[in-house]
Amino acid sequence: MTTERVRVKGLSIYRPIIYGNTAVVLTPEEREAHPSREHTHRWTVAVRSAASAEESDIVGGADDLGYFIRRVTFKLHETYPNPSRNIDKPPFEVTETGWGEFEIQIRITFIPEAGEKPILLYHHLKLHPWTASGADVEVPPPADVAAQLGPVHSWQYDEIIFTDPFQQFLNTLTAHPPTPLPKARRRPVPFHIANPGSLEASKGGVPEFSSAMEKEEIQRLEEAKKSVVGEQEKLRASLTEKEKELERLRRELGEA
């Protein structure tokens, strides 16, 4: 047992996750039946594995994260009854109704074998449809229009990294290799405000994360870097020119 509590040095292991929410507009009938009349949306906030299962109607969640996550705590707005929701079993998600967007604090606690502290992350609950600019429209579209646009998805991909894990924990992790992301896009792309261009591609069904998105992002950053380097070259050329001129002027000043 003692050998199990040894850290494996020079190694880090990560697990791809996604966190975020899905929101749908309540139908008029549902609103009638609901105890609090002002609620307009039903939403689900969740922490899941990044890859989506075949034919599933949710974003991500192909793998059960319970093998390394012991508990996920979602801290909702204080106006909700019992705002701190502890979820001890997968699926790690909370479904609620409401009328407004707010920041949700998510605390992920790992299994004791990990010997790691919980990590905190934040998610802005997204109820209203995305716009290309990424900014919220002043007035959200009326309920019937929003309902026609379909469910709103707001998901963030991330990777939980364990550095120098305990041997035992490493064994646990390697016993559960994560489902790899699909190479190519099979379904709509999850919209992200860092990539406003993906708005069109995000429409038409349940989105799915794919490794093509990573490639696309690298390409986007590379393009930007290329133009930055181009600008630099231009600027450097003019700077060299100017420095030469300055030197010439100084020489003249010195001579005169």
Partner 1 sequence: MAGASAADVRSILSLPNSSTPASTQPKRAAPLARKPSGISRELYSLIGPSAPTLVAQAAKPRLKQKPNLGSGGSTKWEWRSFKNPARTDGLELGHWVKANTDPSADYPFARYNAKSADYTYTQDEYTKLLEDPEWTKEETDYLFNLVREYDSRFYIVTDRYEFATGPPRSMEDLKDRYYSVCRKLIRSRPWAGDEASKSQIISTFQFDKEREVMRKKYLLSLENRTSKELAEEEALYVELKRIEQNEKRFKQDRDRLLRTLLGAESGLPDLPIDEDGPLGDPKKKKKGVANELDSPATPSSSLFASAVPRRAQSAKSAAHDAMHCIQRTDGTTPAGTTTKATHQAAYLRSFRLAYPKAAVAAKVTQIAAELSISLSRLVMPTRDTLAQHEALLEGITTLVEMKKVTDRVDQEIRTAKMRLGMRESETPAETPMDVDEDVQAPDTPGEGRAQSVVSTRSGRSRKQTGTTNDRRSVSVSSVDTSATSATRAGTKRQKFS
Question: At a CB cut-off of 8 Å and minimum separation 6, what does 150 contact?
Answer: 24
Phi and psi, residue 176, nearest 5°? -125, 70
Q: Which of 51, 192, 199, 207 binds partner 1 (CB under 8 A)?
A: 192
With 0-12 / 13-18 / 19 or more C-beta atoms within 10 angstroms meaning exposed / middle / buried, residue 136 is: middle
Q: Which stretch binds partner 1 (CB under 8 A): 35-43, 89-97, 146-154, 156-164?
A: 156-164
Cβ closest to partner 1, residue 89 vs residue 236: 236
Whether 51 contacts 60, CB under 8 Å:
yes
Q: Which stretch binds partner 1 (CB under 8 A): 21-29, 40-48, 77-85, 237-245?
A: 237-245
Instruction: Please tell me whether residue 10 binds partner 1 under the rule CB under 8 A.
Output: yes
Instruction: Please tell me whether residue 88 binds partner 1 under the rule CB under 8 A.
Output: no
The least CB distance from residue 40 to partner 1, in Å, is: 27
Q: Which of 174, 200, 204, 205 binds partner 1 (CB under 8 A)?
A: 174
Cβ closest to partner 1, residue 88 vs residue 245: 245
Whether 58 contacts 206, CB under 8 Å:
yes
Cβ closest to partner 1, residue 88 vs residue 243: 243
C-alpha span between 49 and 69 (Å, rounded):
11
DSSP 8-state assignment for residue 114? G
The least CB distance from residue 239 to partner 1, in Å, is: 5
Phi and psi, residue 46, nearest 5°? -155, 160
Q: Whose structure tokens read 């490493």? A: 170
Q: Whose structure tokens read 């299962």? A: 53
Say how far residue 168 (Cα) sits from the centre of its chain: 29
Instruction: Please tell me whether residue 15 binds partner 1 under the rule CB under 8 A.
Output: yes
Say how far residue 206 (Cα) sits from the centre of its chain: 16
Question: What string of DSSP letters covers 123-144?
Answer: EE---SPP-TTSSPPSSPPPHH
Instruction: Please tell me whether residue 124 binds partner 1 under the rule CB under 8 A.
Output: no
Instruction: Please tell me whether residue 135 binds partner 1 under the rule CB under 8 A.
Output: no
Instruction: Please tell me whether residue 161 binds partner 1 under the rule CB under 8 A.
Output: yes
* Residues 95-114, mask of contacts with partner 1 (x by CB under 8 A): ---------------x---x
Binding site for partner 1 (CB under 8 A): 7, 9-16, 110, 114, 116-117, 119, 121, 156-164, 173-174, 177-178, 180, 192-198, 209, 213-214, 217-218, 220-222, 224-232, 235-240, 242-243, 245-246, 248-250, 252-253, 256
